[in-house]
Amino acid sequence: MQIIAFLVLLLVVVALLMIDKETIAPKVKWGIMGVVASLVVLGMLYHSFSSKQQLHNREKINHFSQGGTLTCKGVLVDGTRFSYENGTASFVAKGSAREIRGVIIPLQDCEVASE
């Protein structure tokens, strides 16, 4: 998919450079290419941030799934009292733990507990 996106971007730049000077002024051409370059850089930054966040979340889920404990805003989340809900990316208290019944904790609020 990235190769196709790169080829399309390359075709847009080449097509823009081939347009006559009389049709579009050179300053406008470079302005358009600057906007396109800015969008590409913003897309790359977003992808990088998203990938890092996804990796961090996957590490937390793996730690929890392997029997580890997470600290979520002062609450210790472990497999005996909580279950992980993939659809909502949150930890839901199990029915057997009466003192925390109904508690839902988002994954983003959690960190791996220091052991």
Residue 24: what pLDDT?
A: 81
Confidence of residue 115 (pLDDT cuts 50, 70, 90): low
Residue 61: what pLDDT?
A: 93
Q: Identify whether residues 10 and 57 lie together within a single domain.
A: yes
Q: How many whole angstroms separate alpha carbon 105 and alpha carbon 64? A: 13
pLDDT tens string 43-83 = 889 989 999 999 999 999 999 999 999 999 888 899 888 99
Q: Identify whether residues 61 and 27 lie together within a single domain.
A: yes
Q: How many whole angstroms separate alpha carbon 105 and alpha carbon 90? A: 5
Q: Identify whether residues 41 and 90 lie together within a single domain.
A: no
Confidence of residue 35 (pLDDT cuts 50, 70, 90): confident
Q: Identify whether residues 22 and 44 lie together within a single domain.
A: yes
Tell me the whole-structure pTM to 2 decimals: 0.69
Residue 15: what pLDDT?
A: 83
Q: Name the token pair of 28.
A: 């406008």
With H, G, I as helix, E, B as strand and everything else as coil, classify residue 38: helix
- Calculate ∠ Cα 20-31-27, nearest 5°: 50
pLDDT tens string 1-30 = 678 877 888 888 888 778 877 788 888 888
Residue 1: what pLDDT?
A: 63
Task: Using alpha carbons, select from 71, 84, 62 the residue that is nearest to residue 115.
Answer: 71
Which bin fits 90, alpha (ψ -120 to 50), beta or left (φ > 0)?
Answer: beta
Inter-CA distances, 113 with 48, 64, 67, Å: 26, 10, 12
Q: Which domain covers residue 103, as residue numbers?
A: 68-115
Q: Identify whether residues 59 and 15 lie together within a single domain.
A: yes
Q: Identify whether residues 27 and 9 lie together within a single domain.
A: yes
Q: How many whole angstroms separate alpha carbon 113 and alpha carbon 115? A: 6
